[in-house]
Structure 1
Amino acid sequence: MCAAFDRETSRRTALRGGLVLAAGAAGMASTALTATGAAPAFADPKPAGRRLPFLLDMVQNNPGEPSFSSRFNDPVKLKEYGYDGQVINEFKPPHAAITFDSFDPRVFPAGSPGRAWVEAAARTIDTHIARAHAAGIAAYVFTDIIVLPKRLVELYGDQILDDKGRISLDRPLTQRIHRLMLREVFTRFPGLDGLVVRTGETYLQNMPFHTGNNPITSGESSHLTLLGVLRDEVCVRAGKRVFYRTWSTGSDKLTSDPAFYRRVTDQVETHENLLFSIKHTAKDFWRTIPFNQTIGVGRHRQIVEVQCQREYEGKGAFPNYVIDGVVNGFEEFRATPRTGPIGLADVVGNPIVAGIWTWSRGGGWRGPYLHNELWCDLNTWVMARWARDTGQGEEAAFTAYATTRLGLRGDQVRRFRRLALLSAAGVLRGHYSAVHPMGRLMWTRDQFLGGSDKDLVSDFDAVLGAGRMAVVLDEKQRAARMWDEIVALSWTLPLREHADREYLRVSARYGQSWHRVVHHGWEVMLRGYAGDRAGRYDRTAMRHHLHRYDAEWERWRRLAADEPSCATLYQPYSFGPKGPDGLYDADPDHGMKPATDRYRAMLSA
């Protein structure tokens, strides 16, 4: 474990029942200081505090699946939490809910099934806007571009497609269609406050009459073309806001390259209604990925995206408190030499940083599916509280949640913080590594567990090549032991609401089983992989851990069967590939089960 965590655990004191806890509420240090306690040289003195101008929330529903039942769908609840905007994301953007009559009435003729679908989608958006405004907050809709009607592409494909069959913004008619499309959107939805625009990924699972693709086909020039259209038609003509997301997949450097970000955005004239939206991580929402260095750069105002139901880290099925790391910098970045910001506390004094956009629910695909939102609620509420008064610090916001939301007092608050910070430390060591950083961060995501037969090959090769098998396996064992303490802590916390109190204990046990399964599964797979290379196997150790692996799976299944609040279980298979319905599912030929079963057969031969 890192030095800061070891220093903290060395200061434990005994409590009733033999439980050991950190003295005070420290845990991993919740300040943005170096390991020596000195302020980093690059950091400016922190301001007294700001109320960030924008605070948005989104429930991102799984593409192609029914919408989540969530408290965060209710704009009244968002208003109570301090939000001033709701991002509606059912993967039916507003330009999929217009008829395109202003361009060509043949696209969705009266009486056609497509027109009926469009009109129904429009009524749903009307309802969302009305509910948000009745609660006193703004309504924005998550918008994939490019998405166009299939019929329109059939009619005009020769004028809008490139030589690879992609709808291209390089074609003049494509630009004209998008300008008319945006005008029709705000004519049909005059109350809509603006758009949150995504490029790079286009999800069509919920739109049977539409097609589309990534508009960034020519790098920098594609971004500039699209930004010009959006600025003209939405910000200037309609007087509405655009939050332009820099997230993209592949080689698009707008996501995290400050120089490229400046080169693109400096060519766009600023406007009060045009903001850029940037993930707090330099890639996807993974631990061990550094803080995004494009935050606070350039001339345009920015909002920062924070995922509160982490798709690579359990999705709220077990405790996983991330806001300490988001604000103050995650543990793995605090002990290293610092050359730039590692958390929001380091950049919040920059006036360019104008807001936070939380994803209270969603991200990724499939499960685990929740029956209680306690851990999503903790991350969301604390992030919102901090954004409304950054000067109070993350720990004060956390304490306010523990006291006002959960009804905890005194040592109970300190124990709850210990549990929360332990969850972050355990996730780092269980899902990732603090001793041998992993390259394949997607070995586990959503409800899937990869194995040594595909997802972990390159990492296992690196671990064995460095002679670090024992160190890595010891880390997985220590991660599981952290969850033993989390379970013990959960029984000492009398949360006010009975449902939350029960879920606290059930979800702690879920996390314990997850990390034990991973520990014993890795023992079998990594030892087996080493044996494959060396031609000899530690059969005694492998049999022992295979027995423990099976026993923990059975314990985990009993938890799900006996406890109604338990989230759905992981599947011991790799993530993907995408099926004919456009959804990702388990790969039945690869993953933790096929990998461990291979060694099971070898050991029984």
Structure 2
Amino acid sequence: MVHNNPGEPSFRSRFNDPATLAAYGYDGQVINEFRPPQTAITFDSFDPRIFPAGSPGRAWVEATARGIDAHIARAHAAGIAVYVFTDIIVLPKPLVELYGDQILDDQGRISFERPLTHQIHRAMLREIFTRFPGLDGIVVRTGETYLQNTPFHTGNNPITNGERSHLALLGILRDEVCVRAGKRLFYRTWSTGGDKLTSDPAFYRQVTGQVAPHENLLFSIKHTARDFWRTVEFNQTIGVGTHRQIVEVQCQREYEGKGAFPNYVIDGVINGFEEFRTRPRTEPIGLADVVENPVVAGIWTWSRGGGWRGPYLRNELWCDLNAWVIARWARDTGLGEEAAFAQYAARLGLRGEHTRRFRRLALLSADAVLRGHYSLHHPIRWTWTRDQFLGGSDKDLTKDFTGIVRQGLVDRVLAEKREAARMWDEIVALADGLPIRSTEDRDYLRVSTRYGLHWHRVVHHGWEVMLRGFAAEQGAPRDEAAMRWHLARYDAEWRRWERLAAREPSCATLYQPYSFGKRGPDGLYDADPDHGMKPSVDHYRATLG
């Protein structure tokens, strides 16, 4: 899947090409342009008044349908299946206006507690597979409903009554997609608002145990117990129950650079990440631990995308590494992750010592991301940096910094950030000696490792200023000399980072030193100009005079 940014132009990506996916060993493509298949039908079978002939809404729907037709044709020409990412609930605005008194609850939400909502969804699914007979199935998401790309539709989360809501929806989907249409249904367990289906094995078993298995029904589960963050445990619902499962793996992690710099995650996804390998092995920590479980049927990669905004890439090398290796391993798990990695290195033209150097670089990138973005000493709030934004001590890190100061961990946490930056010095040196065959990839290898170096130096020096200043406000001794020293280097590192972006065409767009903001009128998220790393550092800059 290419997970395009909601409300923005679709990515230009090699992973949009079904022929590329087939060559990599994938047997299916998920189309995710946030225009689910129900936005490409007229609903004439339910009520022809919804999108009457000649209306702007009908013209938009028919154009969207032609786009899905083209996706189906391209995928089938490449010999792979095609599925469309489907938010539920998403329905036409005219339908809701016509039938609101029969489908809305007292909070104005389209409700699966109303019988007509069930009837509408059955009619909707039948019309989808009548209009798109070549569609091989759908991927269903609940919990988050993105409407930025659907001007004639509205919707909301159907899960308003926990287990009961899931079972009502699953019953309709199983009947209409798996049985009646004979198509595949991937029901995602990811949701928001504390829905326990995401990662609670007992609740997962309780819900899915009430649904009869079917060869066309699979549950889709993130390999992490929450979002795609490091330091989040392996999802213990994987391998549970009687239904087949497909495991989701993100190759362009939105909390960890989004491919603007190296971040090799597949060793951790398969064998368990560093932070879990040192603990007693009482539960699975990676896919290698569940590979023999017959419930675990396959892998689904988010080859590109996730999250919002940037950084925006001009080269997909690091996404490609993750997507290719996990696909190769999934096709032959006996090969092992390291051997699959070596095959990818060979595709780049690397052999012998150069392969070993490339692997050292990749594994070191995972170690550095753990220490630069997270911590082995204190559970840092994962969302302090996401997409193209850098949070600060004034909001995103306040709770973390309070805990670090109270536990006397200031020096250890700052040493960790310093170590992450040192690791990037080594990564840059390793990259400069690698003779990758492609000149474009060789250039991006050099540029992206320097991008990672600047990112981690900015974070190191920024944290030195913020955390030391924050600790002083809590009563610790104030080391003004150290704060001034790091402040000067923080400023210098930003300038170097900006020069890199200005002179190197392959460089990804830069981060912004502000917090992840609120959703604007256009449905998109922007920076919060009043909070973040820059306002926080500038606050302590002012106190230093």
Classify the TM-score, shorter chain.
Answer: over 0.9
Q: Distance in 2 between matches of 1:101 and 1:576?
A: 40
Q: Distance in 2 between matches of 1:153 and 1:544?
A: 61
Q: Give runs of aligned pairs for residues 464-475 of structure 1, distance below 5 A.
A: 464-475=405-416
Q: Distance in 2 between matches of 1:242 and 1:182?
A: 12
Q: 1:93 aligned to 2:45?
A: no
Aligned residue identity for 2:242: R
Q: Equivalent of 1:527, from 447, 468, 472? A: 468
Q: Distance in 2 between matches of 1:399 and 1:117?
A: 47
Structure 1 residue runs of 4 or more that deviate by more than 3 Å after TM superposition: none
Aligned-residue offset at 1:291: 0.2
Q: Equivalent of 1:435, from 369, 372, 377? A: 377
Q: Please give the TM-score of this superposition, normalised by the length of structure 1.
A: 0.90
Aligned to 1:230, the other structure's residue is in SS state helix
Q: Equivalent of 2:341, from 398, 408, 411? A: 398
Q: Distance in 1 between matches of 2:439 and 2:266?
A: 25
**Deviation sequence 1:98-156 (CA, Å, 0-9, x none):** 00001111111111110010000000000000000000000100000000001110110
Q: Equivalent of 1:407, from 349, 352, 362? A: 349
Q: Equivalent of 2:274, from 331, 352, 357? A: 331
Aligned to 1:107: 50
Q: Please give the TM-score of this superposition, normalised by the length of structure 2.
A: 1.00
Q: Distance in 2 between matches of 1:475 and 1:84?
A: 42
Q: Distance in 1 between matches of 2:410 and 2:246?
A: 42
Q: Distance in 1 between matches of 2:75 and 2:338?
A: 30
Aligned to 2:397: 456
**Deviation sequence 1:164-209 (CA, Å, 0-9, x none):** 1110111000000000000000000000000000000000000000
Q: Equivalent of 2:513, from 562, 572, 578? A: 572
Aligned to 2:303: 360
Q: Give runs of aligned pairs for residues 150-299 of structure 1, distance below 5 A.
A: 150-299=93-242
Aligned to 1:371: 314
Aligned-residue offset at 1:437: 2.2
Aligned to 2:432: 491
Q: Equivalent of 2:75, from 126, 132, 151? A: 132
Q: 1:584 aligned to 2:525?
A: yes
Q: Distance in 2 between matches of 1:441 and 1:317?
A: 18
Q: Distance in 2 between matches of 1:540 and 1:354?
A: 58
Aligned to 1:518: 459
Aligned residue identity for 1:477: R
Aligned residue identity for 1:432: Y
Q: 1:420 aligned to 2:362?
A: yes
Aligned to 2:444: 503
Aligned to 1:534, the other structure's residue is in SS state coil
**Deviation sequence 1:522-570 (CA, Å, 0-9, x none):** 0000011011121752211111100000000000000000000000000
Q: Distance in 2 between matches of 1:462 and 1:398?
A: 39
Aligned to 1:148: 91
Q: Distance in 1 between matches of 2:159 and 2:351?
A: 52
Q: Distance in 2 between matches of 1:517 and 1:316?
A: 18
Aligned residue identity for 2:183: K
**Deviation sequence 1:320-371 (CA, Å, 0-9, x none):** 0000000000000000112100000000101110010000100000000000
Aligned to 2:148, the other structure's residue is in SS state coil
Q: Distance in 2 between matches of 1:67 and 1:317?
A: 18
The sequence identity of aligned pairs, in percent, is 80
**Deviation sequence 1:282-319 (CA, Å, 0-9, x none):** 00000000000000000000000000000000000000
Q: Equivalent of 2:260, from 311, 317, 323? A: 317
Aligned to 1:307: 250
> 5+ unaligned residues in a row in structure 2: which ranges?
none
Higher relative contact order (CA closer than 8 Å, sequence separation 6+): 1
Aligned to 1:30: none
Q: 1:557 aligned to 2:531?
A: no
